[in-house]
Amino acid sequence: MDELQWAGAVSEKIKKKLEITARRNAHKIPYTTKDGVFDDKSKDEICWWTNGFWGGIMWQMYHATGNELYLNIAKSNEKELDRNLMDAQGMDHDSGFKWLPTAVCDYRITGDLDARNRGLLAAGNLAGRFNPAGSFIRAWNDNGDAGKAGWAIIDCMMNLPLLYWAYAETKDSRFQQIAAAHADMAERYFVRPDGSVNHIVAFDPVSGKFVETFGGQGYAAGSSWTRGQAWALYGFILSYIHTKKESYLDTAKHVANYFIANIGPDALIPVDFRQPEECGLEDSTASAIAACGLLEIEKYVPQNEKHIYHQAAIRLLQVLDEKRCNWEENSDNILEKCTGAFHDEEHEYSIIYGDYYFIEAIWKLTGQEIFIW
């Protein structure tokens, strides 16, 4: 079976499973599974950062199939998130993850002006988190404790496209300038000389001076949290796509080359590239996210470099399909052995954004994707 046939076959497996999964989870906003059954964040954690990905899956499925089942679920997910949009403490740096796959995707496909309004409200809030002293978008809230006021995280590179979209939609240059300023800062303070990246960088929120870095969701300070690597390589190529600033492409390649060089013989990605040798913990989400970014990088590099990024992406995706995907129809999730953070008590479970990015990557290969970033 050649590569295109393989991707087409995986696409059909996704479509077969998702029609069943979507029907039995139509009123949920899932994060993970318990005994193969999706949980529901809409009940008591509507502000949870992953709550846009189920809607994103639905829009990707609707775009690929035209089945209004997915459109209706996506619309419902988007409206549920209005409770988050009206909760000041629940708004943080992850507005891109929540409203790009929901409201902005809705507007792009249907032209719904209410969806456009939601996207612009979210973009305005994200822009309001920009600290000009240090040129960074603040990460988490802290319930009145100013200890995190100077924190920025690599994940935020994936939220910048919400600002790029808002600029394209309104021609208000502040959105573009804030996004680019944060990306410039990330090039300087997050990306190390070897292409690995920090997860958390702390600045003095008043002076803007660099203070220190933290290990965050990785193994330790100075280590190499793999999902952070994936956020970086995908995030920087997205900034390049929206701005055409060459340094962003160079940075995306630099991080991607580091990631590729650290893929082991089995192509199963650990939680941290620098975790202890005896530790076998995996994070399949890092594989899926990185594959998406690698396939985008491929589009913008010279012809003689394209195979580097394409072949790495295919290798990651084929191993996920063969070893880390659950194609049983009685289980809601697709991807298995995902990990939120190295030092969490629980590891290697299903996570909704793992499914989302796996589907997005396969759709890139089959030409069915709606590009939402």
* CA angle (9 as vertex; 268, 256 as ends), nearest 5: 35
Q: Which residue is catalytic, options 39, 92, 94, 332?
A: 94
Indicate the helix (H) or strand (E) that contains 136. Answer: strand 136-137
**CA–CA dist 258, 200 (Å, integer):** 19
| Alpha helix segments (H runs only) across 25-99 | 53-65, 68-80, 82-85, 95-99
Looking up tokens 């502040």 gives: 174
Long-range interactions of 112-115: CB distance < 8 A, separation 24+: 115/78
Tokens of 366: 């089959």
- For the chain, the first-to-last Cα distance in angstroms comes to 31
For the chain, give me the number of helices (H) and strands (E)?
Answer: 14, 7
Angle between helices 3-24 and 53-65 (to 10 degrees): 120
Residue 4 and residue 1: Cα distance in Å, rounded? Answer: 8
- Nearest-angstrom CA–CA distance, 260 and 293: 12
DSSP string, 182-212: HHHHHHHHTB-TTS-B-SEEEE-TTT--EEE
DSSP secondary structure of 305-364: HHHHHHHHHHHHHHHIIIIIB---TTSS-SB-SB-S-TTSS--SB--HHHHHHHHHHHHH
Q: Catalytic: which of 39, 92, 106, 155? A: 155
Which of 353, 320, 350, 357 shows the shortest CA–CA distance to 36? 350
Pick from 55, 190, 53, 180: which is nearest to 127 by CA? Answer: 180
Is 94 labeled as catalytic in the residue annotation?
yes
155 carries an active-site annotation: yes
User: Which DSSP state fits 13?
Assistant: H
- Residue with token string 């580091």: 258
- For the record, the structure tokens of 355 come out as 């499914």
Active site residues: 94, 155
